[in-house]
Amino acid sequence: MTGFGARLTAAVGARGALCVGIDPHPGLLDAWGLPLGVDGLERFAMTCVEALAGEVAVLKPQSAFFEAHGSRGVAVLERVIAESRAAGALVLVDAKRGDIGSTMAAYAQAYLADGSPLAGDAVTLSPYLGFGSLEPALVTAEATGRGVFVLALTSNPEGAQVQRAEQGGRSVAQAVVDAAAARNAGAEPLGPVGLVVGATLAETGVDLTGLNGAILAPGVGAQGAGPADLSRLFGGAGVVLPTSSRDVLRHGPDTAALREAALRLRDELVA
């Protein structure tokens, strides 16, 4: 399999730099006039796939909203992953997993191993048990041509307590950035380790220029971030993947309206 960095670069070149979240939040299901059970979840998710998977570079299903419905919900997630990839979109499973030892290895098998029905093209990970705890996932991603997006600087106010704390003269977030950059060193065109950095931050306070990987930038659209914020925060940082969920999903359940909203946002971000 071609490496994740190369596949992401090709997808962005062909479809533009946009990641759309598939977040079957109960409030959105209700707004779409759908029941709050698994049937509503499935109709919501598969409408998103029908509308977006053939047009958008990356789709990001939020695992928690599927897991909340038990095994039937996870089965819907598996279908979202399979059908989105079949339509040409890359799938980033937003699971934010982070653990140690054999448990981390099991998460790696679930989300990054060939043959797993939960394996998309990449998964989000939390490094706050130490970046080294992610090693099983990093090794598996490299072996299977998949990617990971590691939480570095999130937009929630509680995150700063950990992420901006300093150790040895640098912030924890900068240590995460540096570890990701070391992992990506020498990869062409991009390494497999991306970072999650919120687009709504006032400033990052970290040096992202040597990452040699992609930056997932949630918060575009309904949360307030726009093109100027992306340029201000990430100028010179390489491949940035703006991410929006509600600003696109509020246009459902009409598939044409969903598709048009995504394409309009994508074009606005590069205008």
Point out the residues that are catalytic: 96
Please give the single-letter amino acid code of residue 223.
Answer: Q
Please give the distance of CA 172 from its chain centroid, rounded to a whole number.
21
3-state secondary structure of 208: coil
For residues 86 and 56, what is the distance between their CA atoms, to the nearest angstrom? Answer: 13
For residues 88 and 141, what is the distance between their CA atoms, to the nearest angstrom? Answer: 20
End-to-end CA distance of the chain: 33
Alpha helices in the chain (DSSP H): 4-15, 26-31, 38-52, 63-67, 70-86, 101-112, 135-144, 160-163, 172-184, 227-234, 246-249, 255-270
Residues in the chain: 271
For residues 190 and 212, what is the distance between their CA atoms, to the nearest angstrom? Answer: 5
- Which among 149, 147, 201 has a CA at the least distance from the CA of 176? 149
Alpha helices in 53-98 (DSSP H): 63-67, 70-86
